[in-house]
Structure formats: structure tokens, C-alpha cells
């Protein structure tokens, strides 16, 4: 059996490795059960097309979930077009080339730009392979905090908003960046949700980004098993390339090797150590649909789960 056909998440008593098909059947059933359990909530999900990408040559639709290795996925899909072979590997593409739509739209197309009447048919046409990748919600939130509030200067407006809201005495109009703590960020996310605000796409519940209960998704990848899942998807997409020259150009394209570096349990414990237990429980409630649909278990970051 090929490596890409085996998954490492099996815990059955006979120790027989699960195939990709086994894993996907389990995840599909989990999502179907979750959609029924939370039907009143998921039916209110807005139509999110902004970060859905499609290709009518390879016949796929990919829903981008922020903080679930989305940069690596966009870079890989751009490379699979065969039009960027001079870069050799997805890792060689610059951040601006990947994330600036003026650049990425030249290679991979967004469903948002397609007239609404022509969007849904790709999900009803069985020729199309539809896939998405998700991540354990509390890990994803830590990643969003580090990326957007610690490293990314373009999110200074949220940085400032948090200080104005939770420690106004520290606010100074001449300061554009503060050392916002992780507990403050968690409190901000919870308060925004409680106020009925639409959360930023980097920490919004993942089911809202992909309309998982309204549309057909053939493959549900997990960040936690990214290597096996990504290898399978890339291999499948390559097999759908009919143009011989394009297939040759992308033969060596692989999903970036540095994708999917999980937060260890110690790291999560450390990040959530100063977050009030009540706020952690509120996060579990905020992301309850994600936990139900995608089969994640609550990480024990407070001494109880």
C-alpha cells in the first residue's frame, strides 16, 4: 500500500491502518451528523464565496480556510497550473504573489468573480473534486493571534481597538502598535461575537467560510494530518491534468514540506494558562459547530475539557 493511501489517525483495536477512503467516510459522516445536530445554526450561514478557488481544467473547487495552511495551498495550486515552473517549488513564491489578488488571480480563479447564477453548478457536477482543510479551533486561534497581532503590522487597527476597549488608560493616539496579550485577544473575540459582529476570517468559525452544510465537499482535510492529506490531494489534482506538457511541468510539484507544524500540548497549555477558564469554555461554545462537524476533541488547556 502506498504511503499516501494510509492515514495515521487510526485507533482501532486491530491496529489496521485506515485508508484515505476510510478516513474520509468517517469525516463525511461526522459532518453530516453535525449538520443535522446544528441545523438551526448552519442554515443561517452566509454565502461565502470570497475565498473559494476553482479550476475548470483540473475540475476542482478549493475553499480556503485561513490559518489552516492556506498560504501553502494557494501557492501549490498556483504551481499546478504549470505557468510558474521557473520557481520550481511553491515555497519560492513570494507572500505578495500569493496573497495579492492582482497577482494570484492570474493563475487561480475565485468563484466570487463568477456571476452568482453560475457558481453552484460545480458543486452538483460530479466531475468536480471539492476540498477544504480545517484545523482544531483553539490551535487556530493561537496561530491567528501570533500571526495577526504579534507579527503582522497590517492588523494594527485591531491591536489599537483592543487597547482602547480593555485598557483605555494606555491608549495614546501617537502609538500604532501595542503588546496585546493573548487573554485580551480572546476576550475581544468573544465580545465581538456576543455583540453580533461578523468575526475576522482568520478566527471566524470555519464552517461559516465554506458553507459545509449547503454545498458538497468531497474531501475534508485536517491540518493535524496535513502531510498525508495534502499528498493525496496533490496527487489527485495532478491526475486530472489532461494536457501532457502541463503534467510534465508540474510532475515535481509537492506540497510545501514545512506545512502543518502543530502546536504541542505544552504550547497550548502555556498560551491558555492566563486565559480565564470561563473564557475557554466560552470559546468551546463559540466553536461548538466546528468541533461537532469536523470531529475535533477539546484540548485540555484548563485542567478540564
| CA distance readout (Å), 12 to 8, 9, 256, 292 | 11, 9, 30, 21
Share of the chain above pLDDT 90, in %: 68
**pLDDT interval class at 263 (50, 70, 90):** low
Between 3 and 21, where is the model more confident? Answer: 21
* Alpha-carbon gap, residue 217 to 198, rounded angstroms: 24
User: How is residue 212 written as a grid cell?
Assistant: 459545509
Share of the chain above pLDDT 70, in %: 90
Beta-carbon contacts of 175 under 8 Å, excluding residues fewer than 6 positions away, are 160
Beta 109-110 vs 129-134: how paired, if at all?
unpaired
Burial class (CB in 10 A: 0-12, 13-18, 19+), 239: exposed
Within 10 Å of residue 68's Cβ, how many Cβ atoms? 26
**pTM of structure:** 0.89
Beta-carbon contacts of 208 under 8 Å, excluding residues fewer than 6 positions away, are 45, 46, 48
* Alpha-carbon gap, residue 47 to 130, rounded angstroms: 16
**pLDDT interval class at 32 (50, 70, 90):** very high
Region of poorest pLDDT, from 61-65, 156-160, 220-224, 301-305:
301-305
The full set of domain ranges for the chain reads: 3-135+210-249, 138-204+263-294
Across the range 257-263, mean pLDDT stands at 60
Question: Residue 131: what are its φ and ψ, rounded to 5°?
Answer: -145, 160
Q: Is 128 helix (H, G, I), strand (E, B) or coil?
A: coil
Q: Measured on CA atoms in the order 85, 88, 90, 92, is the torsion positive or negative?
A: negative
pLDDT of 51: 86
- 85-114 burial code (b ≥16 CB/10 A, e <16): eeeeebbebeeebbeeeeebeebbebbeee
pLDDT of 250: 94
Give pLDDT tens digits for 60-84.
Answer: 999 999 999 999 999 999 999 999 9
Helix and strand counts by DSSP (H, E) for the chain:
15, 7
Q: Are 9 and 23 in contact (CB under 8 A)?
A: yes
How many alpha carbons fall within 13 Å on the CB side of residue 203?
A: 25
pLDDT of 10: 43
pLDDT of 178: 78
Within 10 Å of residue 42's Cβ, how many Cβ atoms? 21
Give pLDDT tens digits for 209-238.
Answer: 998 998 999 999 999 999 999 999 999 999
* Alpha-carbon gap, residue 243 to 40, rounded angstroms: 45
Instruction: Write the DSSP symbol of residue 195.
Output: T
Across the range 190-197, mean pLDDT stands at 96
pLDDT of 173: 80
Q: Kindly tell me if the per-residue pLDDT of 3 is higher than 70.
A: no
Amino acid at each position: 500500500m502506498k504511503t499516501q493511501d494510509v492515514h495515521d489517525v487510526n485507533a482501532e483495536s486491530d491496529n489496521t491502518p485506515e485508508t484515505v477512503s476510510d478516513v474520509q467516510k468517517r469525516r463525511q459522516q461526522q459532518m453530516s451528523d453535525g449538520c443535522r445536530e446544528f441545523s438551526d445554526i448552519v442554515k443561517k450561514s452566509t454565502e461565502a464565496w470570497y475565498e473559494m478557488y476553482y479550476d475548470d481544467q483540473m475540475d476542482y473547487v478549493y475553499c480556503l480556510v485561513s490559518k489552516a495552511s492556506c498560504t501553502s495551498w494557494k501557492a501549490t495550486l498556483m504551481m499546478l497550473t504549470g505557468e510558474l515552473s521557473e520557481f520550481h517549488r511553491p515555497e519560492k513564491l513570494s507572500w505578495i504573489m500569493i496573497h495579492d489578488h492582482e497577482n494570484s488571480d492570474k493563475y487561480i480563479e475565485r468563484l466570487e468573480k463568477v456571476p452568482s447564477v453560475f457558481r453552484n453548478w460545480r458543486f452538483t457536477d460530479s466531475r468536480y473534486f471539492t476540498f477544504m482543510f480545517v484545523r482544531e479551533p483553539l490551535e487556530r486561534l493561537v496561530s491567528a493571534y501570533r500571526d495577526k497581532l504579534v507579527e503582522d503590522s497590517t492588523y494594527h487597527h485591531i491591536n489599537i481597538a483592543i487597547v482602547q476597549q480593555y485598557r483605555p488608560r494606555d491608549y495614546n493616539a501617537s502609538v500604532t502598535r501595542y503588546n496585546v496579550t493573548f487573554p485580551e485577544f480572546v476576550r475581544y473575540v468573544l465580545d465581538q461575537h456576543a455583540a453580533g459582529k461578523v468575526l475576522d476570517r482568520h478566527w471566524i468559525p470555519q464552517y461559516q467560510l465554506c458553507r459545509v452544510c449547503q454545498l458538497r465537499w468531497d474531501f475534508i482535510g485536517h491540518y493535524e494530518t496535513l502531510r498525508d492529506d495534502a499528498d493525496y490531494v496533490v496527487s489527485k489534482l495532478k491526475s486530472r491534468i489532461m494536457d501532457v506538457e502541463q503534467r510534465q511541468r508540474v510532475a515535481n510539484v509537492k506540497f510545501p514540506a514545512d506545512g502543518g507544524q502543530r502546536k504541542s500540548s505544552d504550547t497550548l497549555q502555556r498560551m491558555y494558562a492566563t486565559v480565564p477558564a470561563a473564557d475557554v469554555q466560552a470559546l468551546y461554545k463559540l466553536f461548538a459547530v466546528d468541533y461537532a462537524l469536523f470531529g475535533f476533541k477539546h484540548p485540555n488547556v484548563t485542567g478540564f475539557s
